DNA sequence: GCGACATCTTAAACTACCTTAAGACCATTT
DNA sequence: AAATGGTCTTAAGGTAGTTTAAGATGTCGC
């Protein structure tokens, strides 16, 4: 039963009855993804919401100079997707790439709407999930406008130790908003002090 | 009827019946706020969710060096509040200060829970509102890690022309994550080119 | 009309971060 | 065994942003 981690996740918010569990198992589809494979590419419309069962992803934007900037990582029990594109049905500016061989559960927009209409409880669960994501995003904004790169790096290591062990420094630098070279000098200063 | 702008706002998402409108008018309380008065101060628990009828606010954090960093502004028809503290009932790290003499509508946590339970439609409205806020926050994160201060300033002016005319450059600099002095040199360079 | 106070600007010295380029160290592929 | 490509590091010179201090302007209470 591949949907077990997802049902467990939902039940951390609200308990589900058998009918709801069955519906979740029915509308979320398993998908296996190779390393370097994309769930979403710039220009496409995001048609699915994705929950990670196993593996690791990054979501990034490419700027005018062709440089990549990581907005988010996702590992086991995290959600990933371009909410804006998913809702507005406009082409996405983001890319979602598997950093490791992965297994995910995906729900389509139509099924998610059915989920909300037929089982209103999920409106509430998704509202709380989104609120939590917003709080994290606000934390990161404040950190970006108030901290040095060194402070941001230390906070990242402390806050996401599991990410830190799985993700290359190139990707972490891109998440923190510095060049890999500068992250390297930060790490050196920290290790020799 | 002071709640009209709020009901109009809700109805941009979903139409309300008379009962729902009456409940909204009942649970949202009008509050008048002087310039420089606070809706929330660091260390307090956020007990209300606030919708601005008239006036202007800023929400900011104070860092270890005593410097203020603006997370958000809010004018007519915007929401403002520390969602994290409101939900977790933990002391807030944020301050919300009136930049202008203002009028707001506030709902308590208990009433908001009643709203969600008795009129489930609002779960959906608030979910969508929160999703939109999250998309904006993500945009800002990407901009912070990928753009120069000049680009961020130009984007701010274009995106929020009404803010731009009402808010001092000191406050805008604090929102953009630069010193007021540097914002001044940015503005000079832009005006002489 | 004066004093007190906030806002905005300018400039010089300083620090954080970037660019470019190169070399070392892997893990894969051929 | 050699070639390839990704990761991490080091270093030198450049640009973006900060700090401090000072002066100009404007606004408000009295």
Give the mean pLDDT of B11-23: 96
Name the interface residues of A facing B (CB cutoff 8 Å): 61, 63, 67, 69, 71, 83-84, 87, 116, 120, 123-124, 126-128, 130-131, 133-135, 137-138, 140-142, 144-147, 174-177
- Residue A2: per-residue pLDDT: 86
Q: Token digits for A131?
A: 């609120």
Please write the tens of the pLDDT for every residue from A33-90. Answer: 999 999 999 999 999 999 999 999 999 999 988 999 999 999 999 999 999 999 999 9
* Chain A nearest CA to B61, separation (Å): 8
- Helix (H) or strand (E) segment spanning residue B156: helix B149-159
DSSP annotation of A9 reads: H
Q: State the pLDDT at residue A193.
A: 67
Q: Judge whether residue B193 has pLDDT over 90.
A: no
Searching chain A, which residue's CA lies closest to the CA of residue B134?
A134
Whether residues B146 and A84 touch (CB distance < 8 A) is answered with: no
pLDDT, one tens digit per residue, over B130-184 is: 999 999 999 999 999 999 999 999 999 999 998 888 999 999 999 999 999 999 9
Q: Tell me the percentage of chain A whose pLDDT exceeds 70.
A: 99
The model's pTM is 0.94
Copy the structure tokens of residue A13. Answer: 């918010």
> How is A37-59 classified by DSSP, letter by letter?
-EEE-TTSPP-EEEEEEES-EEE
Which residue from B97, B104, B80 is spatially nearest to B35, judged by alpha carbons? B97
Residues of chain A with C-beta less than 8 angstroms from the C-beta of B138: 71, 83-84, 137
**What confidence score (pLDDT) does residue A73 get?**
96
pLDDT one-digit tens code per residue, A129-143: 999 999 999 999 999
pLDDT value at residue B192: 78
Six-digit token pair at A128? 């709380």
Strand partners, A83: none
CA distances from B98 to A118, B163, B185 (A): 42, 14, 28
- pLDDT > 80? residue A118: yes
* Mutation target among B138, B152, B153, B155 for the A interface, most CBs of A within 10 A: B138
**In this model, does residue A6 exceed pLDDT 70?**
yes
Size of interface A-B (CB pairs under 8 A): 89
Mean pLDDT computed over every residue of chain A = 95
Q: Residue A142 and residue B71: Cβ atoms within 8 Å? A: yes
Distance CA B60, CA B73 (A): 9
**D chain positions with any atom within 7 Å of a protein CB:** 6-12, 16-21
Which of A69, A128, A142 lies at the smallest CB-CB distance from B69? A142
Query: For residue B92, what are the contacts with CB-CB under 8 A and spacing of at least 6?
Result: B40, B41, B42, B43, B44, B45, B46, B82, B84, B85
E strand residue ranges, chain B = 29-33, 38-40, 48-54, 57-62, 68-74, 79-80, 94-98, 102-108
pLDDT value, residue A192? 78
pLDDT in tens, B48-105: 999 999 999 999 999 988 899 999 999 999 999 999 999 999 999 999 999 999 999 9
Residue B43 is predicted with a pLDDT of: 96
Average pLDDT for A144-168: 94
B107 has pLDDT over 90: yes
Give burial (CB, 10 Å; 0-12/13-18/19+) of B148: exposed
pLDDT bracket for residue A1 (50, 70, 90): confident
């Amino acid at each position: 039963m591949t949907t077990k981690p997802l049902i467990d996740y939902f039940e951390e918010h609200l308990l589900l009855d058998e009918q709801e569990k069955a519906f979740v198992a029915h509308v979320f589809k398993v998908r296996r993804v190779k390393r370097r494979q994309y769930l979403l590419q710039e220009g496409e419309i995001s048609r699915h919401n994705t929950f990670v069962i196993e593996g690791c992803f990054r979501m990034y934007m490419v700027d005018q100079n062709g440089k990549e900037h990581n907005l988010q990582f996702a590992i086991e029990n995290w959600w990933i997707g371009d909410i804006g594109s998913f809702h507005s049905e406009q082409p996405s500016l983001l890319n979602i790439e598997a950093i490791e061989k992965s297994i995910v559960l995906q729900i389509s927009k139509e099924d998610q709407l059915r989920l909300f209409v037929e089982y209103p409880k999920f409106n509430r669960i998704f509202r709380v999930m989104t609120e939590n994501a917003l709080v994290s995003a606000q934390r990161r904004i404040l950190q970006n406008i108030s901290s040095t790169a060194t402070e941001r790096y230390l906070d990242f290591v402390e806050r996401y130790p599991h990410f830190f062990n799985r993700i290359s420094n190139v990707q972490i630098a891109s998440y923190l908003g510095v060049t890999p070279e500068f992250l390297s000098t930060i790490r050196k200063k920290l290790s020799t002090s």
